[in-house]
Amino acid sequence: MQIDDRERVMVRTIARLARLIERADTDLSLPQYRVLAMVAAGDERATRLARRLDLAKPTITAMVESLVERGLIRREEVEGDRRAVGLRITPAGEAALEAAEAAMIDRISPVLERLDEADREIVLGAVGTVQTSLDAGVASLPAS
């Protein structure tokens, strides 16, 4: 496979940005943040979370248990499906998520502030487009 230089730069840049975010001063690990953010966005079942985050079900189960114990999410029955368990973010979870995102944005802001306004808008728009593409295509990705 031939790697385009722009793709190489993209991967390396995303990896560096991920490291910046990981080092944010927050009470959530990055994996906990991802799960909490997905639950807040309406992904209410562990199987759906595992698929969207490309994680094994036991990994998601342990992460959910940790977040439940901390009072950041709660389990609830799914109407019409007695076997299914739904997940909902709690007010404490919403506060933790907001604090984590603020800390992560604080870590990335110096990078974005170096861009002129037009470039910053392009970057933010492109990230939104990539998120939409990722959300639409994640179910069709091969299992890892």
CA dist 13 and 111 (Å) reads: 11
Please report the pLDDT score of residue 98 as a whole number. Answer: 97
pLDDT truncated to tens, each residue of the chain (144 aa)? 888 999 999 999 999 999 999 999 999 998 899 999 999 988 678 878 878 887 888 888 889 999 999 999 998 877 777 677 789 999 999 999 999 999 999 999 999 999 999 999 999 999 999 988 887 876 555 554
Please report the pLDDT score of residue 138 as a whole number. Answer: 61
CA dist 118 and 142 (Å) reads: 36
Closest Cα to residue 30, out of 75, 61, 58, 63? Answer: 63
Please report the pLDDT score of residue 86 as a whole number. Answer: 85
Please report the pLDDT score of residue 141 as a whole number. Answer: 55
Task: Evaluate if pTM is beyond 0.85.
Answer: no
Task: Indicate the domain borders of the chain.
Answer: 5-140
Please report the pLDDT score of residue 15 as a whole number. Answer: 94
DSSP string computed for 46-105: HHHHHHHHT--HHHHHHHHHHHHHTTSEEEEEETTEEEEEEEEE-HHHHHHHHHHHHHHH
Please report the pLDDT score of residue 53 as a whole number. Answer: 81
Please report the pLDDT score of residue 142 as a whole number. Answer: 55
Please report the pLDDT score of residue 54 as a whole number. Answer: 79
The architecture CATH gives domain 5-140 = Orthogonal Bundle (1.10)
Please report the pLDDT score of residue 18 as a whole number. Answer: 92
Which residue carries 């031939």 as its tokens? 2
